[in-house]
Structure 1
Amino acid sequence: MLRHVSVSFLTVIALLPSYAVVHAAPVPQLSLPAVTTVLPANTPGLVLVNAKPTAWAALDRFNPLPESLRIPFSAPFLPGAIDFTQDIQPWLGDQVAVALVPTAGSIAGTVFQTLDASAVLVAPIKDRDRFDRFLSKLKATRGNPDIEREYKGVTLLQWSASAEETSPATEEPDATTQRSIPWRGFVQPTRALLGQPVKQLVAQLETIPPASEPEEPSSSDESTDPDETPKPDKPSDFDASELLKPKGMAIALLPGNVAVAVQAQTLEDLIDARAEKEPLTQNPLFRRTLQHPHAERSLLTSYGNVAAISKFILAIVKASPASTFGLGLPTLYESQLSALTKLYSTADSHVWLQPEGIHSQVNIYYTTPRPDLATRATSDANQIMTRLPAATFLSASSRNFKEQWQTSLKESQNDPNTQLALTGFRESLRAVGLDPEKDVFPWMDGEYAFFLFPARGGLFNSINSKLDLGVGLMIQTSDRAAAELALKKLDQFVKKEAKGEVVIVPKRLKGQSIVSWEAKDRGKTLSFLSHGWVDANTLVITTGVTPMAALNPEPYLPLHLNHTFQTATASFPIPNDGYFYVNMGATLSFLYNLILPPVSTSDSLFVQEFQRIAGTVRSVSTSNSATADAQRLDSLWVLAPVKQPQ
């Protein structure tokens, strides 16, 4: 389980500092980002952002995206009067870093501070005169710094939260409002992210008065015991405005660069760490990130040390209340983190543009080469895609569940959470009369796919006439006899437990033998599940005979010949361990037909904005693979191009 599930966790590690990372690295001679020369070699993690306007202008060939998604980076502690294009871009170098700073004296690069106290933004200065004009405007807008001093030869400027930031217009709602209308805390971020139409809608929502609270009993209430110890106030729900509370700002004027943080102590840690270690550019693990074949094309690139980032995450989880973000945080066990750091050294990610859209790749590198974990090339890889229909809304495929299950059991021995989940999975199968280790997993040694596709009739169409949806599970096996025995046990169990309410009916469909589970629905016979074989070794289970007809013996047009699917997967590494794929156009059309008519007029602005943004995405796909050196996760967002005038 660790090898398969940990990819998602390590993907978060790779992207933790903010987004992902950019660099500049021609193959013959490595080009080193200027900002990385002022960061120490033990930097736990960073994000490099391509600040070249031409790089982001390349997005213009796709249908317009929201402006909030097109800005390379933002510095929320700068006053609103500071304009990025006019005040920052003229002096800004090619790449900006957002990094975690090792605490002073921490040779290992272990960070145990909060994110605010550890994050620093480092920007290169290519035009000192224009930077000085920016700094003068900052002082005029925000006021002169509260403190201006020298620290080990570096000038530090420090501001506390400004009067502008603490004005009533931006202060957080009172406790009553928070409890009555929990979404009020999301007003400002919603405005920033979703644009002007939603601003108008949110402005209307803000005018709604808060619901009245039940009155507290007065002090003269006879039922109140004056000697009774008052109960503590109930903790209020998480409010997103906590993330937007006014913060201070500190600036360090480094050679050729400016570093910005929430507090001066962070900058002092950076200065101290630079004195302890050589520059980050001398770290061979970081240089490997810069040598990625698509690094020169990247808009964003990230780098993280797995051990340091894991400890940082653990420290945050331990210090956070269980109600943080309104959700219980998952428990992280130090034994799990220890296992991760033994297997993996660093993680990185790159994001670049290609003709179809936006491609991203995450690599999680092993501490030592693991050729035994590399994806094996096979002549029939991903052949199961030839059995799925071209109109598939969503599919998720992989191979050899038998081996994946055995690996999960082995790698989760010291993981109570995973053990609990695996036990629950076992029990769910036993509940329907099957022993997973004896009846199910041993024959699941080929490719498999779970998929959603358009289909009339069957289970979902009986629930709602607009739910033209089929759900399928397709499994290839080298032991058909064992699979048929398991299906027979399942059929007999259902027949026995249903006590006549469900009938197991053998049928012929286009000359093929299938089995249908049928029941009475409003006086009519409903086939709500069906299973059968579409070839000698491929089993299909789906939500009724009618959906089965679209798959057996083969779909009218298979998925692998569909242009949308081909575009979504053609640039992924081969060999790979399967695909996750969403046809956004078909899926959105299905959802709009299902839910849009009931949408009220008051929500139309939000719906229109959502449709505009979602309509720019044609497909979303991912693929995971592994080499001897790393696990890899590729993702591609295929975007609609701008229509050219006739």
Structure 2
Amino acid sequence: MKIMIKGSITTALGLLLCMSGAKAEELKITKLRLTSQSPRNSIQLSSPKNHQSQPLSDAIIFLDKKLALAAKNQNNIVKQLNEKPNNSTTQNSAKDIASFLPVDTPVVSFISIKPEKWDNLTRFHLFHMAKQTILKFMPPNVSFNYARDIQSWLGEEIVFAFMPKVGNNPATMESTAVMVFPITNDMRVESFLNEVKKDKDKVKIREYQGATIFEIKTSTSAQPLPKKATKQPVISLPESLNKLKSRRQNNLAIATFPGYVVLGFDSKPLEKLIDTKNGKIANISAKPELQTLIQQHQAPEVLYSMYQNPVAYMLLLQDLIKDLAQDLPAELSSTLPLLGFDNINLEQLKAYKSINSYLRLQPEGMRFQAQAYMAKPTSKQKTSTLGTGVHSTVLRTLLFGSSYTEANPPKMGAPSEKQLKSAKKAVSRREQLMMSRMPAATYSAITGSNINLYWQALSRGFETIPEVKKGLADFRNFVRTTTGLDFDKDFIGWMDGEYGFFTFPTKGGLFKLFSPNANFGVGLIVKTSNRSVAENTLNKLEQLVKSSSNGEATIKNSDIKGKNITSWNDRTGSFSPFAYSWIEQDTLLLTTGFGAITDLVPKPYVQLSDTYNFTTATDSLPYPNQGYFYMNMGSSLSWIYGLIPQEYQKNEFFNIFKQTVGSIYSLSATISLTPETEQIDMLMVLAPTREKK
């Protein structure tokens, strides 16, 4: 079994055994070691450093011990050799497991552990380095053999889900989290459960609706395991994480019925799952969006799939964050409200039926995709559900671009062939204009349309938060007082066409002030339907700069191959922080100084749109779309490393980081629209595994 299959199992187990969101950080020192099945390289995990992190470790140690004992029991081995595979359970699928989950389940994750699906990961260097990095953080104390203790009885899919909350009771990890394991070897599971039963003082066994439930007190704190010597360095967690409070009960619940084992922290969510399996509660399997997800999950390249009910998920998330806050020290818990989830308008989320997301491999690397399914409201409902919340309105704006206004909501009917051709031509023209103005070595770029509309959506959304609303008002007043201009109208209002924002290498311009070797510039290309407003704003700013600088600043007009350049310079002309040029009648290029703009006008020597790195990062993304996000990891990391002092670059962990992140060629993303869905795609292009010489 390949190393990454082990990773999927142990990662999923780690998620389930996390006693709270706070304990996720603890996985850095307790996550199972991903190695081969030989005794020398067995899976290992560390014991926590203090009593406050004990509950998570106790659960893992308990399972580890029982799995190992079951495998070593000679009577069990003889029985297992004589047992034939349980054909009735080998065909268990994601669809079968979905029938155990209530119709209002907030989140369902499907993890494939088919060897053939994970084999292709080995061709990417990132995953080899990820394994090596994880091992650096794992001082060993406990070990078990993956192939012997898990692989031998597990099916092809495992499911991690959060069950619906009960009434008005706040949801917690204990009250909602479950994990479902289809099994192919009943005897292996029976051997494990026989070992569990031996701890009679810790285990309570009862029957429930035809299933057996084991309620287990997993505490092992009274008898800590002896430490083993290791040559690997021990990495300490930040002090704030060592202050995590321990208020959790050391409980584990296991339910068994033909073909399945279910794991949780408490028996209540397991009982609800069993009731659903027995038909007492409507199940989720008939939902069309979930059926679509399950169908796509079977594709050879899909590793992980997740279904979310947006409203139920947000309510769950809000509860889990509050639950998490009780475990954190004050300095960390006070930052949680900044995430802003409490400000989300749940009515706006009702515009979406579900969100499906996938993690899949493709020839270039790793692809993440999320699809939000629309509830198909009427035109009136479309307008009313848009609201002013930043999370909803901005998403709609991102997806519909400049065509969206509240008075003119997008039409959800299927577009005609003529409309599709027109849209593709418009996108193609935008890409050719924007990308042809960016240099090949561009660090990062974002393209889209109608910055003015983005700003309107953002400002309306932020005004629902009193503190931010006041900050916006103060900012607008400051701009008006200092410049005599209206920020919304004079600075943003004319930016109503396509745009491209990018960072790029250049030896001149604003950032030269901070370091002679900064080699960094920022550019913005904006298309406008109101050039006169843009020119009026620039002229007023230039007059303000000249009048307030006491002769220290000058405005200079230059000509570069027929293009007029306006730059703001110091009195000596040796430093220029800002420059611009009308590269087309309706298109303005703004950059951080004269030295920077000379690398871009009339056009870069080699254009971004012609590079292999950019085309590889974007060719497989949906088209037409609402624009791209793109980051060239090679050029970006090269610039970042140049800023880091040499003494830090000699650090062992910094070198591991460089090798790992350096295997990512590029990151890219786009947002696209179909009549039924709003979709985001993200692609990470990866370097192939390097052969040892």
Q: Counterpart of 1:399?
A: 449
Does the residue aligned with 2:347 lie in a helix, a strand or coil? helix
* Contact 2:196/2:203 (8 A) holds in 1: no
Q: CA deviation at 1:391?
A: 0.6
Q: CA deviation at 1:611?
A: 1.1
Root-mean-square deviation over aligned CA pairs: 3.7
* Contact 2:507/2:517 (8 A) holds in 1: no
Q: Which of 350, 355, 368 is matched with 2:363 structurally? A: 355
* Contact 2:126/2:687 (8 A) holds in 1: no
Q: CA deviation at 1:553?
A: 1.1
Q: Counterpart of 1:567?
A: 616
Query: Alpha carbons of 1:111 and 1:466: their partners in 2 closer, same or farther (altered >3 Å)?
Result: farther
* Contact 1:55/1:299 (8 A) holds in 2: yes
Q: CA deviation at 1:399?
A: 0.6
* Contact 1:122/1:259 (8 A) holds in 2: yes
Q: Counterpart of 1:181?
A: none
Q: Counterpart of 1:387?
A: 437
**Cα distance in 2 for residues equivalent to 1:240 and 1:54:** 43
Once the two structures are superposed, the pairs formed by residues 580-595 of structure 1 within 5 Å of their partners are 580-595=629-644
Q: Counterpart of 2:625?
A: 576
Q: Counterpart of 2:272?
A: 269
Q: Which of 593, 598, 619 is matched with 1:549 structurally? A: 598
**Is the aligned partner of 1:298 residue 2:302?**
yes
Q: Counterpart of 1:288?
A: 292
Q: Which of 324, 330, 335 is matched with 2:338 structurally? A: 330
Q: Residues 509-541 of structure 1, C-alpha deviation per residue, up to 9 Å, x if partnerless?
A: 333211211126xx7721121111222222111
Q: CA deviation at 1:392?
A: 0.2
Question: When the two structures are superposed, what TM-score results if normalisation uses the length of structure 2?
Answer: 0.71
Q: Which has the higher contact order (CA 8 A, sep 6+)?
A: 1
Q: Counterpart of 1:616?
A: 663
Q: CA deviation at 1:401?
A: 1.7
Does the residue aligned with 1:42 lie in a helix, a strand or coil? coil
Q: CA deviation at 1:241?
A: 5.3
Q: Counterpart of 1:3?
A: none
Does the residue aligned with 2:576 lie in a helix, a strand or coil? strand
Q: CA deviation at 1:442?
A: 3.1
**Cα distance in 2 for residues equivalent to 1:151 and 1:280:** 22
Does 419-428 or 630-639 show the bigger shift?
Answer: 419-428
Query: Alpha carbons of 1:46 and 1:68: their partners in 2 closer, same or farther (altered >3 Å)?
Result: farther
Query: How many residue pairs align between the two structures?
Result: 550
Q: Residues 308-363 of structure 1, C-alpha deviation per residue, up to 9 Å, x if partnerless?
A: 11112233345536744562423757673323323222112011100000011011
Q: CA deviation at 1:567?
A: 0.5
Once the two structures are superposed, the pairs formed by residues 179-198 of structure 1 within 5 Å of their partners are none
Once the two structures are superposed, the pairs formed by residues 321-470 of structure 1 within 5 Å of their partners are 323-325=331-333, 327-330=335-338, 332=340, 336-368=344-376, 372=410, 377-379=424-426, 380-383=429-432, 384-408=434-458, 414=464, 416=466, 419-420=469-470, 422-423=472-473, 426-427=476-477, 429-430=479-480, 431-470=482-521
Q: CA deviation at 1:437?
A: 3.4
**Is the aligned partner of 1:146 residue 2:184?**
no
Q: Residues 524-574 of structure 1, C-alpha deviation per residue, up to 9 Å, x if partnerless?
A: 721121111222222111111111011111111111111101111111111
* Contact 2:564/2:581 (8 A) holds in 1: yes
**Cα distance in 1 for residues equivalent to 2:159 and 2:132:** 17
Question: When the two structures are superposed, what TM-score results if normalisation uses the length of structure 1?
Answer: 0.76
Unaligned runs of 5+ in 2: 1-19, 25-91, 383-408, 413-419
Q: Counterpart of 1:637?
A: 684
Query: Alpha carbons of 1:128 and 1:145: their partners in 2 closer, same or farther (altered >3 Å)?
Result: farther
**Cα distance in 2 for residues equivalent to 1:333 and 1:365:** 21
* Contact 1:34/1:124 (8 A) holds in 2: no
* Contact 1:388/1:558 (8 A) holds in 2: yes
**Is the aligned partner of 1:132 residue 2:190?**
yes
Does the residue aligned with 2:152 lie in a helix, a strand or coil? coil
Q: CA deviation at 1:454?
A: 0.6
**Cα distance in 1 for residues equivalent to 2:461 and 2:153:** 51
Q: Counterpart of 1:91?
A: 153
Q: Residues 579-636 of structure 1, C-alpha deviation per residue, up to 9 Å, x if partnerless?
A: 11110111111222221514175xx111111012112110011111222222211000
Q: CA deviation at 1:365?
A: 1.8
Q: Residues 238-289 of structure 1, C-alpha deviation per residue, up to 9 Å, x if partnerless?
A: 5475599884211010331111011223322333454542332122332233
Q: CA deviation at 1:101?
A: 1.0
Q: Counterpart of 2:29?
A: none
**Cα distance in 2 for residues equivalent to 1:350 and 1:606:** 31
Does 453-462 or 274-283 show the bigger shift?
Answer: 274-283
Q: CA deviation at 1:135?
A: 3.8
**Is the aligned partner of 1:251 residue 2:257?**
no
* Contact 2:301/2:362 (8 A) holds in 1: no
Residue identity matched to 2:207: E
* Contact 1:161/1:249 (8 A) holds in 2: yes
* Contact 1:125/1:257 (8 A) holds in 2: yes
* Contact 2:556/2:568 (8 A) holds in 1: yes
**Cα distance in 2 for residues equivalent to 1:255 and 1:465:** 70
Residue identity matched to 2:114: K
**Is the aligned partner of 1:62 residue 2:109?**
no
Q: Which of 43, 46, 67 is matched with 2:105 structurally? A: 43
**Greater helix proportion:** 2
Q: Which of 84, 102, 116 is matched with 2:174 structurally? A: 116
**Share of identical aligned residues, percent?**
31
